Amino acid sequence: HKHLVIFDFDNTISEGNTDTVVMDMVTDEAEAAKLWSTEQTRNWTKLVNSFLNHLFENGVTVQEMAAELRKMQLVSGMVELLKFLGENPQKFKVVIMSDANSFYIETLLEEYGLENVVSEIFTNKALLEDNGRVCVIPCHSHDHEECPVNMCKGVLIREFIKRLKNEGEVFSSICYVGDGSNDFCASINLSSDDFVFPRAGFMLDKMIRKSRRTPSMNQVDAEVIVWQSGTEIMEKLKQMIF
């Protein structure tokens, strides 16, 4: 029996938000406030691109951004969890679904020697132009109005599972690990055979708790296991295969 383990990235694998770490490299407070003020009228990907463009125009290089990202810590126990999954490829397939971007995610995975653990990454694509400017392209388009325009994890999961089945890959369960509000759509697309791991005290945890008190909200059918450390998730996954 093989299990599919899907991770969010920011505040799930990384301790903190990779987007805002790079955004904070805009040291001019007035300029940063001006860029942030556009958040209400522009989607997040466009906002990220505004910051990346400002950094480029002010001489900040890709190498400097990568160096700042490499200072980030991973969530407690996450290195051990991911290494355990990487050591058991016959039991687990590991995927990332994140509203960050490929440059940030790949930089941190490489920093911690975890790039070979992950089979596939669904995220916004970062492109490095010839002049050194980084721009981010939305992950996909969809028609689910409740999710960000550039990413619906519910749609991504449904399409991914369908593709895997067509390729002959079937899993005993899907385990989804996340923290944020955009992980709720992913969670409600799982079955009673699956598992959702919301990070304790974060928005996904709060939304699942609220949904249980609110019958009109979409419900999570999967078993819910709240976690604080990656080692707690690892212990549960060990029980599933041993």
pLDDT at 72 (0 to 100): 98
pLDDT at 105 (0 to 100): 98
Tell me phi and psi for residue 120, to 5 degrees. -155, 145
Strands (E), the chain: 3-7, 92-101, 120-128, 134-137, 173-178, 195-198, 223-224
- 10 carries an active-site annotation: yes
pLDDT at 40 (0 to 100): 58
Residue 9's Cβ-count burial label (10 Å; 0-12, 13-18, 19+) is: buried
Q: Under DSSP, is residue 142 helix (H, G, I), strand (E, B) or coil?
A: coil
Using CA atoms of 101, 223, 241, 106 in order, give the dihedral in degrees to the nearest 10. 10
In the block, residue with structure tokens 């599972």: 161
pLDDT at 140 (0 to 100): 81
Q: Which domains does the chain have, with CATH numbers?
A: 3-15+74-100+113-123+142-241 (3.40.50.1000)
Do the beta carbons of residue 138 and residue 147 sit within 8 Å? Answer: no
> Is 193 annotated as contributing to ligand binding?
no
Q: How far, in Å, CA of 205 to CA of 180, rounded?
A: 8
Give me the catalytic one of 10, 183, 194, 205: 10
Give me the catalytic one of 8, 183, 194, 205: 8
Do the beta carbons of residue 176 and residue 186 sit within 8 Å? Answer: yes
Contacts of 193 (CB under 8 A, 6+ apart): 172, 173, 174, 222
Q: How far, in Å, CA of 65 to CA of 121, rounded?
A: 20
β-strands 134-137, 173-178 pairing: unpaired
pLDDT at 144 (0 to 100): 80
pLDDT at 42 (0 to 100): 62
Q: What is the pLDDT of residues 33-67, one digit of tens each?
A: 999 987 655 688 999 999 999 999 999 999 999 99
- 130 carries an active-site annotation: no
pLDDT at 150 (0 to 100): 85
pLDDT over 70 percentage in the chain: 98
> Is 143 annotated as contributing to ligand binding?
no
> Is 8 annotated as contributing to ligand binding?
yes
User: How does pLDDT run along the chain (242 residues), one tens digit per residue?
Assistant: 899 999 999 999 999 999 999 999 999 999 999 999 876 556 889 999 999 999 999 999 999 999 999 999 999 999 999 999 999 999 999 999 999 999 999 999 999 999 999 999 999 999 999 999 999 999 887 788 788 888 999 999 999 999 999 999 999 999 999 999 999 999 999 999 999 999 999 999 999 999 999 998 999 999 999 999 999 999 999 999 98
β-strands 195-198, 173-178 pairing: parallel
Q: Which two tokens stand for residue 213?
A: 């008190």
Is pTM beyond 0.85 here?
Answer: yes
Contacts of 164 (CB under 8 A, 6+ apart): 4, 170, 171
